């Protein structure tokens, strides 16, 4: 993906995950807002790895959402482009993402 497309997909993931967290763990959302709304952007090597990260998030009970592209510009429709995780306690997210490199 181009840099702009990557940024847009990351933004989509953040918004979607926040909305999921508001429904499932509103206490985590409040704490996240109070502490500056930290965001960390990491990378995976494949769409399969992205889905494994999402599955691990689900297994840990973390709020998450997968972004699937509409296919209007660079990618095929339905391509999974990003996963947003949280807001949630940092130590819990790190259990899922701690081995991933920064983007």
The CATH number covering residue 70 comes to 3.40.1490.10
- Domain that includes residue 21, residue range: 3-97
Q: How open is the CA angle 93-5-81, to the nearest 5 degrees?
A: 45
pLDDT at 94: 98
Looking at the domain assignment, is residue 72 inside a domain? yes
pLDDT at 34: 95
Looking at the domain assignment, is residue 102 inside a domain? no
Q: What is the tally of structural domains in the chain?
A: 1
pLDDT at 20: 98
9-18 pLDDT, tens digit each: 999 999 999 9
Looking at the domain assignment, is residue 50 inside a domain? yes
Reported pTM: 0.93
Looking at the domain assignment, is residue 58 inside a domain? yes
Looking at the domain assignment, is residue 103 inside a domain? no
Q: Are 65 and 83 in contact (CB under 8 A)?
A: yes
pLDDT band at 68 (very low <50, low <70, confident <90, very high): very high
Provide the pairing of β-strand 80-85 with 64-68: antiparallel
Mean pLDDT of 11-28: 97
């Amino acid at each position: 993906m181009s840099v702009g497309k990557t940024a847009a997909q990351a933004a989509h993931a953040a918004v979607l995950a926040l909305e999921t967290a508001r429904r499932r763990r509103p206490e985590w959302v409040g704490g996240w807002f109070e502490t500056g709304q930290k965001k960390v952007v990491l990378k995976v090597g494949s769409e399969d790895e992205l889905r494994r990260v999402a599955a691990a998030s689900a297994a840990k009970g973390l709020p998450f959402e997968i972004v699937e592209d509409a296919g209007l510009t660079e990618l095929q429709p339905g391509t999974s482009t990003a996963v947003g995780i949280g807001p949630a306690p940092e130590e819990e997210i790190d259990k899922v993402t701690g081995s991933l490199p920064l983007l």
